[in-house]
Amino acid sequence: MSESAYLIDPISKEYDLRERLVDLDQLYSILGVHNPEVGLDMAEALTKLQRDGPNKVTPPINLPSWMCCLLPCVKAIPKMQEYDKMVPKTARVIRSGRVMIVDAADLVVGDIICLKPDTIVPADCRLIECKSHLQIDRSYFFSEYPVMECYCLLSQPSSATHLFYQSDICFMASRVISGEAKAIVIRTGDRTFWGYTCQYKRRDSFI
């Protein structure tokens, strides 16, 4: 079992994902999405980005982020190598009715994103449309059951009792194995499940 797998239960208690407990129409209203086919407009996205900050997760070691980027010796630490592999670089998002590629750090809650094979899930999101059989690699978080069969639940919230078994939720830093889907971003940056995981790892870091 991976190191992260041992953190699932304590993190789940702190990671209160209320967005999974409402139907999609309510979720759109909560996140300010008027039409999921159109997505947010650029002004709305900019306002949210200024409010919430960039979609970046603080590295899992006790150093300021800028030092992690500048010190080669720090970059060579296994935790940092693992972290670097998981950082999403870009995201395919629908804004003002157009599909565009943006820096993953610019994603905000309410963005409608497109998931495709062999890409990293760029933020915590809830599926709203599945075009084909969707499989997500979650081995970083849960090595015992590394592959999740994901599917949309139409407008109804999931009946899953545990967050990690909810089939319409995808976590940032997971990888799409197969299938395509659209999803709505519900958490970004350090507020994501991966962000909470890194926070727990920093508590045990000597660096």
The secondary structure of 2-67 as a DSSP string is -TGGGGHHHHHHH---GGGSS-HHHHHHHTT-S-TTT-B-HHHHHHHHHHH--S-PPPSSSS-HHH
Cα separation, 141 vs 131, whole angstroms:
25
Mean pLDDT of 1-12: 54
Q: Write out pLDDT tens, residues 87-131.
A: 899 999 999 999 999 999 999 999 999 999 999 999 999 999 988
Which CATH fold would you assign to the domain 3-201? 2.70.150
> Alpha carbon of 60 to those of 121, 161, 192: distances in Å?
19, 28, 14
Residue with structure tokens 């919430």? 52
Q: Write out pLDDT tens, residues 38-49.
A: 999 999 999 999
| Predicted structure pTM score | 0.83
Sign of CA dihedral 186, 83, 57, 115: negative
Cα separation, 8 vs 142, whole angstroms:
8
Of 162 and 39, the structure prediction assigns the larger pLDDT to: 39
